[in-house]
Chain A
Amino acid sequence: MEMQKLYLLVPMAPLVGAMIAGLFCRVIPRWLAHTATIAGVAIAFIASIVIFKDVQAGHTYNGAVYTWLTSGDYQFEVGFLIDTLTTTMMLVVTFVSLMVHIYTIGYMQEDPGYNRFFSYISLFTFSMLMLVMSNNFMQLFFGWEAVGLVSYLLIGFWYTRPTAIFANMKAFLVNRVGDFGFILGIGLVLAYCGSLDYATVFQKAPSLADTTINLFAGRDWATVSLMTATCICLFIGAMGKSAQVPLHVWLPDSMEGPTPISALIHAATMVTAGIFMVARMSPLFELSTTALSFVIVIGAITALFMGFLGVIQNDIKRVVAYSTLSQLGYMTVALGASAYSVAIFHLMTHAFFKALLFLGAGSVIIGMHHDQDIRNMGGLRKYMPITWITSLIGSLALIGTPFLSGFYSKDSIIEAAQIAYEHGQPGAAFAYYAVLAGVFITAFYSFRMYFLVFHGEERFGKVDDAHHHEHHGDHDDEESSHDHHHGLAPGQKPHETPWVVTLPLVLLAIPSLLIGFFAIEPMLYGDYFKGVIFVNAEAHPAMEHLAEEFHGAAAMGMHALTSLPFILALAGVVLSWFFYMKRPDIPAAIQRRFSAVQTLLENKYYFDKFNELVFAGGARLLGKVLWRGGDVAIIDGLIVNGSARVVGWISSITRLFQTGYVYHYAFTMIIGIFVLMTLWINRA
């Protein structure tokens, strides 16, 4: 009983904080807004630790809070499922959220929307917790859409900026495209399992493994496996939320929002909701190798091709954003290889080091007085030592340096993809080479940014304020991503940020360094996820083989020093050092030489232009045609007003008979009587 109250406290505490800061944002002082929300999130974090301990002791929970709706034979409840997967997510979400809350005090101190911002991020924390703690699909969808709403509000936080309000609408709509698939998937689950409760569905699912549905009545070719259809529909939802190609287009633009939320929402937590969801649904996905192959291919495409885009970005936040896209692709590859626990493991380590990198980038942005162009930076390590060291740790973790957290999770993903490939899973071969190549790319763009920002010549404070994106063609990039459109004045030096900013950096750097080493054994090879994540080891042996090859975290780190991924990462770092520190003329020459590739990358493979032209433009055109052509011309013009005109025409003729002369009427009456009498006589 006590624990159930504690479960409820976890999402409710941030909600109360959000309501205090939000409903009274115009009357309460700033300190109250941040104290209330930080207290709420801190309570949630502490409660999460207690619950984590309790679950470790074996007390899982699955129960309803209240009945949301009943209809027919169906019952929908709001309830909690508390197991190790949930508590892992709860800890990650509340910890990163707490760090971001503290950081925000420093980052947003000059912003007039201070209270509103705190309200939003606490509301986000509530929504995300409802999502991960759910024990059913309905509530999952509730949290899913609610985090989307807060993301929408936060991307458009600076609502007077055209780019921001374009980006937030784009983010919401692209996510809705994913949700379109997601709700159909949920519908299939309900139609065939008769419930949206996880436990019931997972119990029922194996008996439906061989069920097929026919999409067009009576056509054999349209018969598909129910589980494949369901899982692909659900995964389309994940593609929207976790920004997988081709629904990734909203994430880079989401950098329009303030940096703290880029860290919290668009790197560490919300975008990983899709990964979490697929891991949660492992009993369903395990029933369809086809769906898993779909997942692994999409993930591999995202991991590799979004990495390439990171190489040419000059906006510090966008580099990190593309790296996030690429890492989400890695997680998706792990899911596709049935290594769900590895995906969750990478989700966790990534949450720490990517939040660290984003907050570090934000710290640099503050130090640079809101200039975000890395070409204007350089040599910052002298002026911002804490930011420098922590960012270095984050970058090293990201590229998979042995013994750091990112190494353990990323290396496991590569090995899982390799095993899936060797086992002959369709698409896994491509995925394996993609994630392998991705290692080199990741190291290259990460250290390109690192060197350009923290080392080399000091390029800031130049008279010519060069942060106009003259190289960017399309409109939504122009002037984008600048929190406040100014930079350092000539001669001005960057400065280290206050402790509220650097403390979260340090606190995030610690798990970025260590958590992989300590967590890999229990999370991947222990009983941590037993009974939570389901793997059909016969069909998808990745985890089983990984476990056989695993001989402790230390051995894994030692062994990696001679492995291919490490060499690739090292090569990436060395090459970026050579290119950007020693011979900056070489990348410039390459750009000139391969200008077609450069153009392709600058236009982000033309996804945005295509969507803008085909989907947005097409929808508007269709609307115009249906409205002007259908409603106005045909229905109103032809039928409604047409029939009115016909009536008018007929009456204009009949009006001729109404002359007003008595003798006309008398005459007509006489004719009428004659006609009637004739008829009567004839009939008689």
Chain B
Amino acid sequence: MSNYPLLSLAIWIPILAGLVVLATGGDRNAPLARIFSLVGAVAAFLITLPLWAGFDVANGGMQFVELSSWIPRFHINYHLGVDGISMLFVILNAFITIIVVAAGWEVIQNKVAQYNAAFLIMSGLMNGIFTSLDGVLFYVFFEASLIPLYLIIGVWGGPKRVYAAFKFFLYTLFGSLLFLLALMYLFFQSGGSFSILEWHKLPIALGPQIWLFLAFLIAFAVKVPMWPVHTWLPDAHVEAPTGGSIVLAAIALKLGAYGFLRFSLPILPDASHELSGLVLGLSLVAIIYISFVALVQEDMKKLVAYSSIAHMGFVTLGFFMFSAMGIEGALVQMVSHGFVSGAMFFCIGVMYDRVHSRQIADYGGVVNTMPKFAALFMLFSMANAGLPATSGFVGEFMVILGAVKFNFWVAFGAATSMVVGAAYTLWMYKRVIFGDVANHHVAELSDINLREFAILGVLAIATLWMGLHPQPFTEVMHASVNDLLRHVAISKIQ
């Protein structure tokens, strides 16, 4: 199996499928475009499964490696590989792409081929990010993935889509430029190598480490997003179509966090230790401050967007405690957040498609007309609030428990999300779902159809599976996380 270039296939199959879909042309051929998209997404997902099946859990290094020269003059290589940290995200990404294509099936009637092509191409590019072992290759994918998402928000978005798309683009571009500078520095410092794995071994003095760390921090913090560079996310979510929100929450937010593990921690271990207090502080602000902000949101999408930021706070918190529990908990949280927030945005989309409002005040008593939907939405709300037996619990549990050992007050701060997180989620659920039928829009609602039920059902199974038996997910991480921790523990200052 490993004779096939699986990672290249995971990148290029969706991109090619996207081009094929694009070739179907105008909306006259929309049904064909949809079918091609679904076939492409499923094929791309299936091709990633051997990554998990054939993964050697004892090996902490890179697997399924592909290496060939790309631009020899600057030693830029087409260098791909996955380890226990990145492998799950490739699969998650491919999985979410199917969900997104299915989510837009009947809803998107305008420029169908282009819409689906954008998602497929973006999916391929994101796989490129998760598998690149070459700095330039990473950067190219990192930047290129912005374009489809920008278009998705800018073309298929809501009334303020242009403002949101610009804000999103400029915010992330600002971070990227600093990232590029850091890459250049590392290129020269390493004597002309763009290999990320080489950089992991590169000795760097503390001063430059700090500067590089800050450059990486800004680039990645925007993507995560961390407080205070988070304000693009609620706007982007509110304006994005449902599919865009799902990808944004489930995959795009993971890129920044992934960057911390691939770049900041292993390349700059001393600066990471030195500045861990800063990151931990920002993470706690994200968890506490943002949770309170989420509490008072009147727009459901904004509420879930803020809750995403708070959940990602757990991720960065887990990374910078430098313990296996912390990092693995953070990784579990990332995967889980992909399922749960994806499902939450889809649920909001289901209601939006029927009522054309995201305002909490426009709803009430939805359970009376959509009982099946209410039951599934309850499951995901509870997962969002971190209820045990759902995936949402596992990551938070690991990070909080890891934090108690690290510092009691950090754990104390993080654990407040148990109360506030439940408060904002359940308060929204109560106002939207429970109660008497609030108005004629709610009275006319029809319960979810088979397509919507299938999407939510699949996500529900994933959420429960990961909550009841997370072992298969963490098993693949152990060796790589341990390698990373060993690496971070060794000073690079000479």
Q: Which of A156-164, A321-329, A332-340, A386-394 contacts B (4 or more CB under 8 A)?
A: A156-164
What does the 1/0 interface line of A173-187 toward B look like (CB < 8 Å)?
100110110011011
For A631, what are the chain B residues with a Cβ–Cβ distance below 8 Å? 231, 293
Q: Does A69 lie within 8 Å of B470, measured CB to CB?
A: yes
For A169, what are the chain B residues with a Cβ–Cβ distance below 8 Å? 426-427, 430
Q: Does A176 lie within 8 Å of B292, measured CB to CB?
A: no
Q: Is B134 an interface residue (CB 8 A)?
A: no
For A173, what are the chain B residues with a Cβ–Cβ distance below 8 Å? 419, 422-423, 426
For B475, what are the chain A residues with a Cβ–Cβ distance below 8 Å? 70
Q: Does A623 lie within 8 Å of B419, measured CB to CB?
A: no
Q: Does A640 lie within 8 Å of B231, measured CB to CB?
A: yes
Asked if A145 meets B387 with Cβ closer than 8 Å, knowing A68-B470, A187-B405, the reply is: yes
**In the bound complex, CA of A67 to CA of B471 (Å):** 7
For A624, what are the chain B residues with a Cβ–Cβ distance below 8 Å? 296
Q: Is B491 an interface residue (CB 8 A)?
A: no
Within 8 A of A (CB), among B427-455: 427, 430, 433-436
Q: Is A486 an interface residue (CB 8 A)?
A: no
Q: Which of B18-26, B45-53, B182-190, B324-332 contacts A (4 or more CB under 8 A)?
A: B324-332
Beta-carbon nearest neighbor of B477 in chain A: A71
**In the bound complex, CA of A623 to CA of B428 (Å):** 15
Beta-carbon nearest neighbor of A162 in chain B: B435
For A188, what are the chain B residues with a Cβ–Cβ distance below 8 Å? 404, 408
B122 CB, nearest partner CB in chain A, Å: 25
Q: Is A172 an interface residue (CB 8 A)?
A: yes
For A622, what are the chain B residues with a Cβ–Cβ distance below 8 Å? 292
Q: Does A626 lie within 8 Å of B420, measured CB to CB?
A: no
Q: Does B292 lie within 8 Å of A159, measured CB to CB?
A: no
Within 8 A of B (CB), among A192-232: 213, 215
Within 8 A of B (CB), among A82-115: none
Q: Is A533 an interface residue (CB 8 A)?
A: no
The residue from A66, A156, A159 contacting B469, defined by CB atoms under 8 A apart: A66
**In the bound complex, CA of A144 to CA of B393 (Å):** 13
For A160, what are the chain B residues with a Cβ–Cβ distance below 8 Å? 365, 368, 434-436
Q: Is A33 an interface residue (CB 8 A)?
A: no
B382 CB, nearest partner CB in chain A, Å: 6
Within 8 A of B (CB), among A606-665: 619-620, 622-624, 626-627, 630-631, 635-636, 639-640, 644
Q: Is B42 an interface residue (CB 8 A)?
A: no
For B416, what are the chain A residues with a Cβ–Cβ distance below 8 Å? 180
Q: Does A68 lie within 8 Å of B471, measured CB to CB?
A: yes
Asked if A183 meets B397 with Cβ closer than 8 Å, knowing A70-B478, A626-B293, the reply is: yes
The residue from B325, B371, B411 contacting A74, defined by CB atoms under 8 A apart: B325
| A165, A187, A644 pick with most chain B CB within 10 angstroms | A187
**In the bound complex, CA of A190 to CA of B433 (Å):** 38
**In the bound complex, CA of A191 to CA of B434 (Å):** 41
Q: Is B487 an interface residue (CB 8 A)?
A: no
Q: Is B35 an interface residue (CB 8 A)?
A: no
Q: Is B418 an interface residue (CB 8 A)?
A: yes
**In the bound complex, CA of A620 to CA of B295 (Å):** 7
Within 8 A of A (CB), among B73-129: none
Interface residues on B, range: 35 or more
Within 8 A of A (CB), among B322-362: 323-325, 328-329
| Inter-chain contact total with CB atoms closer than 8 Å | 139
**In the bound complex, CA of A218 to CA of B423 (Å):** 36
Q: Is B474 an interface residue (CB 8 A)?
A: yes
What does the 1/0 interface line of B283-308 toward A look like (CB < 8 Å)?
00000010011111100000000000
For A69, what are the chain B residues with a Cβ–Cβ distance below 8 Å? 394, 398, 470-471, 474
Within 8 A of A (CB), among B262-321: 289, 292-297
How many of chain A's residues have a CB under 8 angstroms from any CB in B? Answer: 54
Q: Is B158 an interface residue (CB 8 A)?
A: no
Asked if A619 meets B388 with Cβ closer than 8 Å, knowing A176-B418, A183-B418, A626-B289, the reply is: no
Beta-carbon nearest neighbor of B378 in chain A: A153
Q: Is A142 an interface residue (CB 8 A)?
A: yes
| A72, A165, A188 pick with most chain B CB within 10 angstroms | A72
A557 CB, nearest partner CB in chain B, Å: 44
Q: Is A529 an interface residue (CB 8 A)?
A: no
| B426, B435, B470 pick with most chain A CB within 10 angstroms | B426
A606 CB, nearest partner CB in chain B, Å: 22
Q: Does B426 lie within 8 Å of A71, measured CB to CB?
A: no
Q: Is B412 an interface residue (CB 8 A)?
A: yes
Beta-carbon nearest neighbor of B431 in chain A: A165
The residue from B170, B398, B404, B418 contacting A180, defined by CB atoms under 8 A apart: B418
Within 8 A of A (CB), among B221-241: 228, 231
Q: Does B419 lie within 8 Å of A180, measured CB to CB?
A: yes
For A72, what are the chain B residues with a Cβ–Cβ distance below 8 Å? 323-325, 328
A508 CB, nearest partner CB in chain B, Å: 31
For B368, what are the chain A residues with a Cβ–Cβ distance below 8 Å? 160
For B365, what are the chain A residues with a Cβ–Cβ distance below 8 Å? 160
Q: Does B292 lie within 8 Å of A623, measured CB to CB?
A: yes
Q: Is B151 an interface residue (CB 8 A)?
A: no
B272 CB, nearest partner CB in chain A, Å: 18
Q: Is B389 an interface residue (CB 8 A)?
A: yes
A457 CB, nearest partner CB in chain B, Å: 38
Beta-carbon nearest neighbor of B292 in chain A: A623
**In the bound complex, CA of A385 to CA of B471 (Å):** 57
B484 CB, nearest partner CB in chain A, Å: 12
Beta-carbon nearest neighbor of B472 in chain A: A69
Q: Is B219 an interface residue (CB 8 A)?
A: no
**In the bound complex, CA of A70 to CA of B329 (Å):** 11
Asked if A619 meets B435 with Cβ closer than 8 Å, knowing A69-B470, A186-B401, the reply is: no
Beta-carbon nearest neighbor of A159 in chain B: B434
Asked if A159 meets B435 with Cβ closer than 8 Å, knowing A70-B478, A623-B294, the reply is: yes
Q: Does B408 lie within 8 Å of A215, measured CB to CB?
A: yes
Beta-carbon nearest neighbor of B417 in chain A: A180
Q: Is A149 an interface residue (CB 8 A)?
A: yes
A362 CB, nearest partner CB in chain B, Å: 24
For B426, what are the chain A residues with a Cβ–Cβ distance below 8 Å? 152, 169, 172-173
For A639, what are the chain B residues with a Cβ–Cβ distance below 8 Å? 228
**In the bound complex, CA of A291 to CA of B266 (Å):** 44
Q: Does A71 lie within 8 Å of B329, measured CB to CB?
A: yes
Q: Is B246 an interface residue (CB 8 A)?
A: no
The residue from A70, A159, A183, A190 contacting B415, defined by CB atoms under 8 A apart: A183
**In the bound complex, CA of A636 to CA of B435 (Å):** 36
Q: Does B388 lie within 8 Å of A141, measured CB to CB?
A: yes
A95 CB, nearest partner CB in chain B, Å: 26
Q: Is B136 an interface residue (CB 8 A)?
A: no
Q: Is A384 an interface residue (CB 8 A)?
A: no
Q: Does A184 lie within 8 Å of B415, measured CB to CB?
A: yes
Q: Is B403 an interface residue (CB 8 A)?
A: yes
Q: Does B388 lie within 8 Å of A146, measured CB to CB?
A: yes
Q: Does B401 lie within 8 Å of A187, measured CB to CB?
A: yes
B371 CB, nearest partner CB in chain A, Å: 8
For A215, what are the chain B residues with a Cβ–Cβ distance below 8 Å? 408-409
For B137, what are the chain A residues with a Cβ–Cβ distance below 8 Å? none
For B294, what are the chain A residues with a Cβ–Cβ distance below 8 Å? 623
B190 CB, nearest partner CB in chain A, Å: 32
**In the bound complex, CA of A176 to CA of B228 (Å):** 28
A-B contacts, 28 of them at CB < 8 A, read: A66-B471, A68-B470, A70-B475, A71-B325, A71-B478, A72-B325, A72-B328, A74-B325, A141-B388, A149-B382, A159-B435, A160-B434, A166-B430, A173-B423, A179-B418, A183-B400, A187-B400, A187-B403, A187-B411, A188-B404, A215-B408, A215-B409, A619-B420, A620-B295, A626-B289, A630-B289, A631-B231, A636-B231
Closest 4 CB pairs of A and B: A187-B404, A72-B324, A623-B296, A191-B405
Apart from A149-B382, A180-B418: 9 A-B pairs, beta carbons within 8 A: A72-B324, A72-B325, A159-B434, A165-B435, A173-B422, A183-B415, A190-B404, A619-B423, A626-B289
Footprint of B on A, CB under 8 Å? 26, 66-74, 138, 141-142, 144-146, 149, 152, 156, 159-160, 162, 165-166, 169, 172-173, 176-177, 179-180, 183-184, 186-188, 190-191, 213, 215, 619-620, 622-624, 626-627, 630-631, 635-636, 639-640, 644
